[in-house]
């Protein structure tokens, strides 16, 4: 039997960090297992290529939710990265941590050590920020964090309009206070996407104590009593068992880590027994507490100098492509919308809206591809960052290769409806506030006829979509729904941890890639501090 000290399942935003840091000790043998393969392709590396990856079977798991009753039975595609780097290889590359209050709330929920002051050093440790090191940022970490290569004048006007609407300008959206508006930063290096694989694993692949296994599906965690002893994998049609002398770490993400726990007999007893799975540890919270923000985009026809659509359509798009190939610059070197505002949906409430602006607009072509509109257009979006609605996921069957069933339960809490509609109204107001308002010709999506709360909610349901940040399905805490404790150990079991987005008790008010990297950094320190002695394993 193959034997390693630590087995890390999932080479995504947290797993790459965990495997890299653990393997810094040459005496520790680390195995990193990934179901997908390499993700070194042009549209993966090109920041603006993310739209090309939505339909990719090679790089995207392309999960589908179950029909959502609150959306009139719609099914929503959930995009998840399929390969080395995980979702950091297909995301918008936005480096946003959320607010200090998010992490202080985690600590108040019974998770000692997870307050803002305690997690900030882990954000800084991973970061190589182009602006340099300071009280809030690191300057010598492996992950490149950079500013947009271009800021269009219309994007600057969006910032000015937000200021005129009462949202203060910030020079650093990753430091307090909020609300604020400013320029985003991205995980981009030299005009190319900088995934967690490229940052944390690729530079250390030569380590003799680090093994990377791709194209390998972990079928279940193996146990001896309450102690995790390894994993069973399927690779190339062959099953085999691999032993862990110290710990098994699940970093497969908020959709796959709870699935693996369930397949291993850990979860709600009734749900497991329904699929013929023997219960090893009853933890009813496995798969519960599912949170995902909802997103909706609006679009306007604007004056010609206010949009870059002309650079991304017709023959000019080939010139823009050539510019990127030879210089790694231009609009193909940009991540998702370069400017954003964090705002309150209601006076006195905490910041709960992310309002983002792009000096371009897109529509689906008859073939289903997304392309820049043929007229000068700009777009903006609203994300409700703090959904109160909670969903769950469950096994479809006992087959480890079958995708789980996802029930996101969007808009099941009335406050989500009220606050998101308020966000749409606030965004419209900002867009029509000078100086940006002077660039607007007419609203295209949803159009001025969509005016009442009921009409705006209908637009949200029909044309909105996932915010791409599902979290919370292996909640950290001490209550009856908690799956892991504050040291990320699966409750009631030994030598088994979960280190990824699934452990978040409440979703941060930002994007989730940076927090996942932080969780990986902090999780490794916990593993090292606990320093479990190796199990004796017969070779």
Please, what's the b/e burial string for 290-318 (b: 16 or more CB within 10 A of its CB; e: otherwise)?
bbbbbbbbbbbbbeeebbbbbbbbeeebe
Burial class (CB in 10 A: 0-12, 13-18, 19+), 241: middle
469 is in an annotated binding site: yes
Q: How far is CA 472 from CA 63, 107, 465, 484, 512, in A?
A: 17, 15, 19, 11, 11
Question: The dihedral of CA 500, 506, 512, 517: what is its sign?
Answer: negative
Alpha-carbon distance 360 to 297, whole Å?
A: 12
Kindly report the backbone phi and psi dihedral angles of residue 383, in degrees, each rounded to the nearest multiple of 5, phi listed first.
-115, 130
CA 285 from chain center: how many Å? Answer: 21
Alpha-carbon distance 297 to 292, whole Å?
A: 17
310 is catalytic: no
178 is in an annotated binding site: no
Nearest CA among 447, 446, 469, 448 for reference residue 459: 446
Inter-residue contact 264 to 474 (CB < 8 Å) = no
Alpha-carbon distance 382 to 294, whole Å?
A: 8
Question: The dihedral of CA 218, 8, 505, 425: what is its sign?
Answer: negative
Alpha-carbon distance 536 to 244, whole Å?
A: 10
What single DSSP character describes residue 490? B
Inter-residue contact 469 to 512 (CB < 8 Å) = yes
**Which of left, alpha, beta for 83 (phi over 0: left; psi -120 to 50: alpha)?**
left
From 6, 137, 194, 469, active-site residue? 469
Look up residue 72 and give its two tokens: 């009139």
Place of tokens 């001896």: 224
Inter-residue contact 432 to 298 (CB < 8 Å) = no
Alpha-carbon distance 200 to 11, whole Å?
A: 10
CB neighbours of residue 3 within 10 Å: 17
Using only C-alpha atoms, the chain has a radius of gyration, in whole angstroms, of: 23
Nearest CA among 278, 247, 249, 251 for reference residue 262: 278
Inter-residue contact 155 to 357 (CB < 8 Å) = yes
Alpha-carbon distance 46 to 87, whole Å?
A: 15
Alpha-carbon distance 239 to 260, whole Å?
A: 16
218 is in an annotated binding site: yes
CB within 8 A of 350, min separation 6: which ones?
Answer: 99, 101, 344, 386, 509
Helices within 55-193 (DSSP H only): 100-108, 116-126, 153-164
Nearest CA among 400, 382, 393 for reference residue 298: 382
Provide the annotated binding site for FAD: 218, 468-469
Provide the annotated binding site: 218, 468-469
Catalytic residues: 469
């Amino acid at each position: 039997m193959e034997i390693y000290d630590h087995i890390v399942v999932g080479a995504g935003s947290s797993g790459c960090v965990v495997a890299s840091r653990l393997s810094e000790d040459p005496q520790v043998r680390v195995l990193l297992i990934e179901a997908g393969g390499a993700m070194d392709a042009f549209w993966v590396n090109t920041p603006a290529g993310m739209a090309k990856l939505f339909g990719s079977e090679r790089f995207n798991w392309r999960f589908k939710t179950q029909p959502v009753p609150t959306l009139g039975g719609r099914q929503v595609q959930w995009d998840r990265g399929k390969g080395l780097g995980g979702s950091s290889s297909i995301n918008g590359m936005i480096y946003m941590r959320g607010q200090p209050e998010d992490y202080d709330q985690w600590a108040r929920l019974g998770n000692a050590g997870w307050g803002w002051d305690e997690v900030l050093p882990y954000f800084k440790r991973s970061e190589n920020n182009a602006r340099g090191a300071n009280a809030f940022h690191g300057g010598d970490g492996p992950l490149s964090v950079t500013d947009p290569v271009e800021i269009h004048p219309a994007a600057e006007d969006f910032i000015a309009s937000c200021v005129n609407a009462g949202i203060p300008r910030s020079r650093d959206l990753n430091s307090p206070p909020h609300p604020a508006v400013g320029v985003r930063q991205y995980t981009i290096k030299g005009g190319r996407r900088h995934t967690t694989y490229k940052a944390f694993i690729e530079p250390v692949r030569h380590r003799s104590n680090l093994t990377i296994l791709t194209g390998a599906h972990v079928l279940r965690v193996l146990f001896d009593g309450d102690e995790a002893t390894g994993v069973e994998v399927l690779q190339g049609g062959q099953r085999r068992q691999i032993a862990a002398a110290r710990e098994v770490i699940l970093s497969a993400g908020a959709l796959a880590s709870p699935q693996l726990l369930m397949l291993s007999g850990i979860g709600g007893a009734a749900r497991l027994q329904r699929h013929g799975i023997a219960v090893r540890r009853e933890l009813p919270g496995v798969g519960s507490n599912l949170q995902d923000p909802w997103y909706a985009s609006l679009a306007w026809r604007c004056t010609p100098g206010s949009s870059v659509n002309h650079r991304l359509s017709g023959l000019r798009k080939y010139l823009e492509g050539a510019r990127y190939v030879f210089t790694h610059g231009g609009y193909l070197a940009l991540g998702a919308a370069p400017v954003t505002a964090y705002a309150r949906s209601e006076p006195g409430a905490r910041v709960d809206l992310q309002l983002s602006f792009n000096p371009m607009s897109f529509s689906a072509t008859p073939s289903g591809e997304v392309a820049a509109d043929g007229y000068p257009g700009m777009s903006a979006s609203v994300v409700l960052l703090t959904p109160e609605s909670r969903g769950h996921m469950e096994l479809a069957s006992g087959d480890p290769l079958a995708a789980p069933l996802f029930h996101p339960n969007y808009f099941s809490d009335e406050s989500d409806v009220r606050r998101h509609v308020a966000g749409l109204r606030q965004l419209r107001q900002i867009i029509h506030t000078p100086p940006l308002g002077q660039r607007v010709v007419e609203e295209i999506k949803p159009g001025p006829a969509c005016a009442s709360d009921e009409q705006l909610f209908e637009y949200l349901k029909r044309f909105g979509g996932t915010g791409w940040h599902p979290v919370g399905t292996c909640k950290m805490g001490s209550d009856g729904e908690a799956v892991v404790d504050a040291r990320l150990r699966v409750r009631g079991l030994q030598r088994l941890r979960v280190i990824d987005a699934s452990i978040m008790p409440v979703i941060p008010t930002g994007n989730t890639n940076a927090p996942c990297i932080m969780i990986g950094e902090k999780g490794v320190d916990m593993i090292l501090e606990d320093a479990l002695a190796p199990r004796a394993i017969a070779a």
